[in-house]
Structure 1
Amino acid sequence: MTLQLTLIGIGTGNPEHLTLQAIRAMNAQDLILIPHKGTGKNDLAQLRHEICAEVLTNPATRIIEFELPVRNEATQNYRKRVDDWHDEIAAIWQSAIISNGAPQNVALLVWGDPSLYDSTLRIASRLMPTPEITVIPGITSLQTLTAAHATVLNEIGAPFIVTTGRRLRDEGWPPGVDTVAVMLDAGAAFEAIAPEGIYIWWGAYVGMKEQIVIEGPLIDVAGEITKVRARARNAHGWIMDIYLLKKL
């Protein structure tokens, strides 16, 4: 029988972010796979377990953890590093599914939404035989950030760009837009751009009980954000942050 693989967007760790569709999908599964990212990131697996405990009512649904492999950073080509890592993760999924009796309905709980800066769909396409994939949309950290600051993402009729910290640092401000949303920033890439005339809405752990938000002219708050970010990372062993930049 063809594997039915459901990728469920779960928001940013708050059970109240789950849609009714997500809750129904979770309860329709034979098996839910939860990644364990190693020492210092136990909170991420625990949050998924807490979400399951909050909404699962089907006693037949099993929950299995798997160890997420560490990406090999020694390879020079970034794309090859990511591709090799995705191949390795897909093999682990395959093994976990087979070793648990090859159930027909399997789900993964995806942080935010499976369509935005997430590789779960790309990894799923590597499974053999190819499963039938269903995607349940979720609230993204970008939505949660703008809600936390009670602000809007775009100006009237104006475009915006969603990019990564790596690209902002390496390439500077994207041309043709006045609004930039930055995700997957390994380390305060906003420090690499000229701060004059830029306003920032920054948040870490948005939507979670640990949420921290700071906003203001970049020239005034950049240093504060960097210090707060470092303290939070040291306290938790990991950090998820996101920010919105606008030219005034």
Structure 2
Amino acid sequence: MKRLLIIGIGAGDPDHLTLQAAKAIAGADVFFIIDKGEEKDDLVQLRKHLIEEHGRRPYRIVEGRDPERDRTAAAYTNAVEDWRARRADLYERMIDDSLKDGQTGAFLVWGDPGVYDSTPAILERLPFPFEVIPGISAVSALTARHRTALTSVAKPVHITTGRRLAEEGPTADDMIIMLDARCAFSGLDDFHIYWGAYLGTKDEILIEGPVREVGERIRAVRAEARARKGWVMDTYLLRRLA
């Protein structure tokens, strides 16, 4: 049978790769890479670098173009479901065309695919067994770079998105917010923020402080970075001030 691996490669630093992930890369015959356009070519190049460093030849790299996704749709859940269905069709064609019985194919994904990634949910739609190799998540990279812990004593942590924070407001004293294009932290003056973008890369940006003091700076820096690179991946921890 064909076997698939979803390998977490960390938040951006090549040294984030775990020994388990390096061994998994070494055991793969075919690597599937999804091209998201010229703006995000550096994301593709990091994957290729890791394959070159840890892969065992002969291996093959198979690239596919990511289906377009409507990020402005009012029915957000339906738009995501449509995009996942089209991605599943793409993956199935790539696997059928490029992976022989008895071979192992691999998808290298950012961070920890067990924390925040669509690839496991997409591959569940397909008739192939797969295994998930954990990685260093953006959450772990963020708190380490800010030299703080994810949790506070006897308090839960809520992991959510910028979209949900904007809609619902704060839901806990400690919150991890993923991919917040809206800067939904604005106005949350009773919180301290630990913000990071491009974690683990040469473009890494870290800002930390009370939201009332650094919120506008984060908004401006984020906008400048996105204009310069064409994309931004950011994460932050909100912690209610005592």
Corresponding residue for 2:83? Answer: 85
Q: C-alpha distance in 1, partners of 2:198/2:72? A: 29
Residues 102-135 of structure 1: CA deviation (Å, up to 9, x unaligned): 35311100111111121111100111xx211111
Once residues 101 and 36 of structure 1 are traced to their aligned partners in structure 2, the CA distance between those partners, rounded to angstroms, is: 19
Q: SS of the residue aligned with 2:201? A: coil
Among 207, 210, 216, which residue is 2:203 paired with?
Answer: 210
Aligned residue number for residue 221 of structure 1: 214
How many angstroms apart in 1 are the aligned matches of 2:15 and 2:111? Answer: 13
What are the within-5 Å matches in structure 2 for residues 170-189 of structure 1? 170-174=167-171, 177-189=172-184
Tell me which of 132, 135, 144 is aligned to 1:135: 132
The CA RMSD over aligned residues, in Å, is: 1.4
Of the three residues 150, 153, 159, the one matched with 1:153 is 150
- The 1:157/1:38 distance shift into structure 2, 3 A limit, reads same
Q: Kindly tell me: are residues 149 and 74 of structure 1, through their superposed partners in 2, closer, same or farther at Cα, counting changes over 3 Å?
A: closer
Aligned to 2:70: 72
Residues 232 and 239, structure 1, Cα contact 8 Å, conserved in 2: yes
State the TM-score, normalized to the length of structure 1.
Answer: 0.92
Q: How many residues align?
A: 240
Equivalent residue number for residue 26 of structure 1? 25
- Aligned partner letter, 1:95: R
CA–CA distance in structure 2, aligned partners of residues 73 and 234 of structure 1:
18
- TM-score by length of structure 2 reads 0.95
Tell me: CA distance 1:243–1:74, structure 2 relative to 1, closer, same or farther (3 Å).
closer
- Offset, 1:187: 2.7
Q: 1:39 deviation in Å?
A: 3.0
Which of 217, 223, 232 is the aligned partner of 2:225? 232
The answer to whether the 8 Å contact 1:15/1:54 transfers is no
SS at match of 1:206: coil
- Map of 2:188 onto structure 1: 195
In structure 2, how many angstroms separate the alpha carbons of the residues matched to 1:239 and 1:74?
17
Amino acid at match of 1:119: S
Segment drifting more, 73-82 vs 136-145: 73-82
Shift of 1:186: 1.9
Deviation at 1:75, TM superposition (A): 5.2
Alignment gaps of 5+ in structure 1: none
Q: Is the 8 A contact 2:193 2:210 kept in 1?
A: yes
Please list every run of 5 or more consecutive structure 2 residues that lacks an aligned counterpart in the other structure. Answer: none
Per the alignment, residue 3 of structure 1 pairs with: 2
Is the contact made by 1:195 and 1:219 (CA closer than 8 Å) also made in structure 2?
A: yes
CA distance in 2, matches of 1:242, 1:101: 35
- 1:41 counterpart SS class: helix
